Structures are given as structure tokens and as C-alpha cells.
Structure 1
Amino acid sequence: MITRLKLATATTLLATVALAGCATTPGANDTAVNTVGTATNIGMNVFKVAVDTTCRTEIEKQKAWRLAKVAMTAEQQEAAKTKVCGCVSEQAPQQVGIVEMTNAAIDSKYRNQLVAQVVTKSLQSCYSSMIK
């Protein structure tokens, strides 16, 4: 669980970023917005990679996967993992908010918990949709 200090820091960081655009001169606002957008995209991409990596580990623990992969070649297994974990990674941004992403950027333990939570929520539904 994150401490109140970390939560306050995350809230302050969000407020600072949100208000930064108001304090810039005309024309500079575009740069500030682009910088924040780029940072957000980078953070989300890092998050998606972490989700994909965790998914690939967790899928191996699924009983249904262990049974299904017996009938697959190595290439088929990799293709199936890519499809399922791609689905999980694409659903990840829809399951987290900006505050959660900010906290994840600050606290690695929180990030690991958030990634595990997202993978757990999405893995079964993505796996089920793949085998239909």
C-alpha cells in the first residue's frame, strides 16, 4: 500500500503537470502539452511491456494453457502467447487511471502490483476469446 506521502507527492505531481500549461507563454503551451503527452505515451508503453512480460509468465501457470500447448508446435505456442498477451496489453490502459499510472511511475512495488492486477483481470477473458 502506498503511503500518504507518496500519494501526496503523486497528487502534487499531477497538479503541477496539469497547471504547467496555464503558466506558459503563448506558443510554449504546445511544447508543454507535447512534452506531457510524450511522457504519458512513454509511460504507457513501458507499462504495456511490463504487462506483456507478466502475461507471458502467468499464462504458463494456467491449466488450460498447459493442456492446449501439448498439441501445439513451438511456433504455434509463441503465436498464441503473442495473441493472448497482446490482447491483455491492449486492455491494460483501459483498466488504469492517470493517478494509478503516476503512482506506478513513483513506486516500483505499486507498479508490480498494478501490472499483476491488470494481467489477472484480463488474461482469462483474452485466453477464452482466443480459443473460441
Structure 2
Amino acid sequence: MKKIFAVLLPLALSLTACATMDGTGAAGTNGTQATTAQQLGGAALKIAINAKCTTELNNLPAWQTATKLMTADQKQEVQSNICGCVSDKAPENISAVDLATAALDPQARTTIVTNAVTKTINQCVTQAIQ
């Protein structure tokens, strides 16, 4: 939980930066600042999603069974592929409203990240198996 909070703090700060821009910058500056903040927020969100994916994957009984015969390197490679996929695809399941909520409410943030991972992990496991 502390790791997710530490990772999502930059998201909150970047969203706050978007909300406090007053429009007094030079032409095109505000668009650049908003894009940079969105990129930082997206990166922080991907890190939180990746961390949650790793935890969820390691807690799945099917994962534990499937990886018993794998070497540590093989297990790590498959896990990286699956969680990389989840990190890329899960943000598609998060609305702008949820992003704003996640920046302000730690409890909602946990729920939003968990829901995004849950919606995406099975799809990525299936993709990794093929």
C-alpha cells in the first residue's frame, strides 16, 4: 500500500499542476505543460499497475501451479511479459474521472488500480500463454 501511495504521489502532483494552470503562459505553453503532466501521471499509474499486477499474479493459485516447474529466470520473464501487458492495457480501463479521483483519494486509488488490473490480467495471461 505504501509503495502504491509513493508511486501515485507524482500523479496527484501532476494533476494538481494541470488544475492550477492559469492560462497566462505563451501560446502553446499550457498545452505542453498539460501533456507533460499527463505523461507523468500515466507513467506513475503504469508503475502502480505493474506493482499491483505482480502482487495479484503471485497470489493466484493457477500461477503458482503453472510456474512450479519453471526456473526463476523463466518465471520472471513470463511475469514481466504479463505485467508489462497489463501496465500497457489497464490504463485504457480507467476514465479521466477515475484518474482525478485517484489523485485525491488514496482509498479510491487502490480500488481503481485493482479494478483496472483485474479487468486486464486475464487477457494478458491468455496472450502470454499463446
* Common topology (TM > 0.5): yes
**Length, aligned pairs only:** 115
Shift of 1:75: 0.5
- Percent pairwise identity: 32
Shift of 1:59: 0.3
Shift of 1:64: 1.9
**1:71 aligns to what SS in structure 2?**
coil
Q: CA RMSD in A?
A: 2.2
Unaligned runs of 5+ in 1: 1-12
**1:46 aligns to what SS in structure 2?**
helix
Shift of 1:48: 0.5
Q: Matches of 1:34 and 1:84 in 2, distance apart? A: 32
Q: 1:86-125 maps to which residues of 2 (within 5 A)?
A: 86-125=84-123
- Checking the alignment, whether the CA contact within 8 Å between 1:84 and 1:130 is kept in structure 2 is yes
- Could you say which residue in structure 2 is the equivalent of 1:71? 69
**1:29 aligns to what SS in structure 2?**
coil
- Scaled by the length of structure 2, the TM-score of the pair is 0.79
Larger radius of gyration: 1
- Could you say which residue in structure 2 is the equivalent of 1:42? 40
Q: 1:6-85 maps to which residues of 2 (within 5 A)?
A: 17=19, 20=22, 23-24=23-24, 28-85=26-83
Unaligned runs of 5+ in 2: 1-14
Shift of 1:30: 1.3
